[in-house]
Structure formats: C-alpha cells, structure tokens
Structure 1
Amino acid sequence: MRFLDIQDLRSTALIGILFLILSLGSCNSLLREKEEKKPLARVGDTYLYREDVAALLSSSISKQDSASFVTNYINTWASKQLLLSKAKINLPEDKLTEFERLVDNYRTDLYTRAYKEALVQQTLDTAISTSQLQSFYEREKENFKLKEALVKIRFIELPKQFLNKKTVVSSLKRFNKKDQTYLDSIGVQFRKLNFNDSIWVKASRVISEIPPLTHENQGRYLKKSQFFEMEDSLGVYLAKVTNLLEVNDIAPLQFIEPTIKQVLLNRRKLNYIRKLETEIIDEAIKEREFEVYGEDK
C-alpha cells in the first residue's frame, strides 16, 4: 500500500475544492435559469411557464383579450394535465402500454413523414411534359368516362329592359371578330357574360349561372350548336352551345389534365420514397449502423 505524502494531500484537496466550486457554479447557473422562467400555473410536478403562453399571443391583441385568452388557456391546460394524471392512475396497465406504443409510433411517423416531404420538395422533379400527359391519357382514357355532361358555351345575361337585344342575339350567334368587338364594347351593360367557348365546363356550372335552366330541362337546351334564350324575373339569358359531351363519353384531355398531372406526380413521389427507403437501409448496412440478428444470437 502507498501512503499519500503532503504534496499528494494538497493536490487532492485542491482538486476537491475546484470540483466543489464548479459544482456550486453549475447549481447557481441552474438555479438562475430556473428563476428566469416564471411559472403561470402548476399541476403536480408539471409547470406552465409564461414563455409557453407568450408565444401564442398576437402583438395586435388587446390587454383585456390577452388576459381572457391566458385565463382560458391556463384552465384548459390544467384540465388536460389533471385528466392525464387521473388517466395514468386509473387506466389498466395494458391500456397505458398500448397508448404509449401508439404515441411512439405517431411521433416516429410525424418526424419521418416531415423528413421525407422535405426531401421530396427539394429533389423531386415536378415537371410533367405534354408527351407524358398524352401518353398516360391514351393509355388510361377508358378510366376517364364522364359522370356529368360537359359543354363549351358562350352566354350573356341581359337586364329585363335591355333595348338592343336583337343585335346582341345576332352577334352572339355569329361571333365573328366584328361581333366580338361589338359585344366587348357594350359588355358593361350585361349582368353576366362568358365569351370563352374554348374551354369545357360542367353542365351543373352552367345551370348555376342560368337559373331557368335546370337538371330536368337541360336536355332540351344543352345541345351541340344550339342557341337558346330563357327568361325569369331577374333577367334574360342568351346562350350558344358550341360543343357537348354526354355522360359516359371520354373526358377530353384538356378537362382532366390537372387530375392526370396529380396522378403522375403522386406516382413519381411514391417511387422516389421507395427508392429513398431502400437506399437508406443499404447505406446503414454498409456503414454497420443496421444489423438483423438471427435467432441463435
């Protein structure tokens, strides 16, 4: 056995004093840090701090509204904490274990989903070419049968006492460049107008814009190349149907293009995520971060 000499004792004492000073310094630091956080409420050993609530308050809120919000928030927080405490005491152990597992799974899913979405946004190519759209459409067009009629239409709603209706009707029917210029020039007198007959719209949308037109009578009026005039207590409705697609007809590419784009992007995203997951596992195995143990280990 080796005896400590005076020098050893002094060194040991000095180390002990330094350790004590550092420990006290750390304690003081922790105490100061705890003192800086001012609690608003306590339930058992759980505290609600001012900083937690301050982050939820808008700078534009009045003092009175702020006080009311804080009071309500504290009461809601306390109610949840008390119920949680009672639940942990009174629920069966197997239920608590199941809930903890669900919470862990949800936390994992939340983090991993957010991470994957961030990677997708940074790296996934979201451009869909015209040829890709056309190719998918031709291949899958039988799956795009219409459940509602589509029309290409131009229409005008006139006030009841409009004086020059005959000229407007003629111009809307012919619709050459001169007619378009004329109708545009007096458009401010119309209650409603739509001159863009190059796009497909649902029949239900047309019915919503022309009240006398209904689902029951649309078959009489919504016919290809047909002009019709209708009237109610609010106004006079003039319309020219330039094209029509019936229920069970194949939807035109122009109409379902946004849907196809979304389908293609979702498929591309799914393939990217599958590839990402495979690459992550392969890399982890290579770096010895991931191992699967056999039953004999």
Structure 2
Amino acid sequence: MKFVPKILLVAVLLTAYSCKRFPNPFAEHNTILAEVENKKLYLHDVSPIFTPNMTSEDSLKILRSYVDQWVKKQLKIKEAERMLEESQKDIDQMVQEYRNSLLTHKVDQFYVDKNIDTLFTDTQIADYYNQNKADFILDKTLVKARIVRIPRSYDKKKTIEELMLTPREDGYQDLLDLCVKNNFELTELNQWTDFAVLRSLLPVDKTQDYDYLLNTAKVNEFEANDFIFYVRVLSVCRAGEYAPQESVREVIKRVIFNKRKEEIIRAHEDSLYRGALDNKEIVVNVN
C-alpha cells in the first residue's frame, strides 16, 4: 500500500538523530508521514505530541504509535464508507442535522445568556409551589432531627433528655454548651432529610422501620458499646404528603429558570419569523 514506504522513510530519517537530542523534527513541515489513498498525514500535523526535552528514541516511539493509529483510523473510515455506501445519504443528512442543531443551540444560548433573569424571589417560588402542589407529593418520609451521643458513664443523663425536649431557645443553647463542655457528639439534621438517613446514624437494626421515632414529643434512647444515643425528631413530613416548600426550593428554581429559557427562545423565534415575513424573505403556502 502507498502509505507503508512513507512511514518507513520517516522512521529512517528520525533514527539518524539517535545519538543526540531530537533537535527540530519539523524543519521540513511538508514531509508526508503516512498516506491512505487521498488522505495524507504531514509532519507538521503531529507537532503537538512532542516536548522539547524528549530524546530521539522517545520521539520516534511516540511518532510511530501516533502514525499507526492514524493509519488504522483512516482504513476504518474507508472501510465504513464502502460498507455504508448505500446509506451514505442518510449519514450525510444526520451530519447536516447535527450541525444545524449545534448552530441553532448556539443562537438560543446567546439570547438566553443575554436576556435571562437569574433572580428568584420568595414570592415567585411560593406562587409556583402553591400552583403546582400536586407535583410535590413525597414518596419518602422527611425529617429534621437532633442526635446527641454521650458516654455510658455520664451520670446526668436526665439533663440531656430534658434539654432536648425543652421548647425554650435558651434550652437549646444550654444543650449546645453542655455538649461543647463535655465533648459530646451533637448531630444536627437542620435540613429536610430522608428518614432512612437518620436511621443510618443510629445503632439500629436496618431491617426495621422504627416509625415510633417520628413522635416529635419524645426523646428516644439507643445504646451501643460504651455510648448512649439520644435522638429527637423535631419535624416530620410523611410519604404521601406535600413536600415542604423549603425542601423543593432548588427544584422550583430550576423549573422557573427553564421556563424563562423557553420563553426567551420562543420570543426570539417569533421575532425572526415576523421580521422575515415583513421583509418577504419567506413564503409559507400552508392554509
């Protein structure tokens, strides 16, 4: 085949540098490294694969590998063209459609970036939530909770339970101070969290549901090794209920954002259409 002697010739030329650094392999930029029918790979095409500190041996090794891969790729393309000759028109159409899709996407993105409003007010989010509540029905139970882990040897366990149950704000601060002072581990689930995640933080049998933990008026206790875990669920939203607005806030923002994008794209398309009609650039013959 025509490309074989071309590869061998370059290999011989490059080997001539084997006793010194590879000084400038691109002096002859028009040197053909390989040729497959009417496709040619020139020496200057491969310049990015080399670095100044390469030895001639390394450069030659990398070059041979690159050329081999290029030749194999061209051969596969030629084979595919022969095999798919009858469906070439379909492939060309697919390529054209893909190109058109990329171009129109670029135009859409330009006008979206130029005009999109990325601010979301609480009112906008609340309005969307209230108008589309049916879209936000939970398929799992969500909770907010608090866990305190203390050593089994701690002798004021009742105090922990009392502070976890107190509704007073200073009661929580007292609990926090107590945990800091005694180096107790305090875990706060302040965001709406899957109930399964809460259970995973406790020394419980994973095969049970532990629905009794959802009683917000009670502190539950678990023991494991040398520690005691106190857990209280502060808020609960069960599967089948509407998701709390707070828990779907980011979802709503994405939906509103996408709607704004669609409106910008549609407005631009309508503007193009009207302008083309006014300027008699298009003719539509559909009644």
| TM-score (norm. length: structure 2) | 0.73
Unaligned runs of 5+ in 1: 1-34
Correspondence for 1:126: 118
Identify if the C-alpha distance between structure 1 residues 77 and 134 changes in structure 2 by more than 3 Å, giving closer, same or farther.
same
CA contact (8 A) 2:133 2:242 kept: yes
Distance 1:154 1:87, change over 3 A: same
How many residues are aligned here?
A: 253
1:237 match: 229
Contact 2:141/2:239, CA 8 A, preserved across alignment:
yes
- Residue number in structure 2 paired with 1:91: 84
Change beyond 3 A, Cα 1:43–1:49: same
Cα distance between partner residues in 2 of 1:146 and 1:218: 19
Kept after mapping to 2: 8 A contact 1:229/1:236: yes
Q: Which residue of 2 aligns with 1:291?
A: 282
1:221-257 per-residue CA deviation (whole Å, 9 max, x = no partner) reads: 2332331122345854321111111111111110011
1:96 CA displacement: 0.8
Q: Which residues of 2 match residues 57-72 of structure 1 at below 5 A? A: none
Q: Give, in whole Å, the separation in 2 of the partners of 1:122 and 1:285.
A: 25
Tell me which residue corresponds to 2:5. none
1:66-215 correspondence runs (5 A): 73-93=66-86, 95-158=87-150, 163=154, 166=157, 167-174=159-166, 175-187=171-183, 189-190=184-185, 193-195=186-188, 197=190, 199-212=191-204, 214=206
Report the secondary structure of 2:242's partner residue. coil
Amino acid at match of 1:229: E
Displacement of 1:91: 2.1
Q: Which amino acid aligns with 2:146?
A: R
Residue type at the aligned position of 1:99: I
Determine the C-alpha separation between the residues in 2 that align with 1:85 and 1:36. 26
Q: Is the 8 A contact 2:115 2:264 kept in 1?
A: no
State the percentage of identical aligned residues.
23
Superposed displacement of residue 123, structure 1: 1.9
How far apart are residue 124 of structure 1 and its match?
0.8
Gap runs ≥5 in structure 2: 1-27
**Aligned partner of residue 137 in structure 1, secondary structure:** helix
**Counterpart secondary structure, 1:226:** coil
Map 1:252-263; keep pairs closer than 5 Å. 252-263=244-255
The answer to whether the 8 Å contact 2:147/2:232 transfers is yes
| Partner SS for 1:176 | helix
Deviation at 1:90, TM superposition (A): 2.7
TM-score (norm 1): 0.71
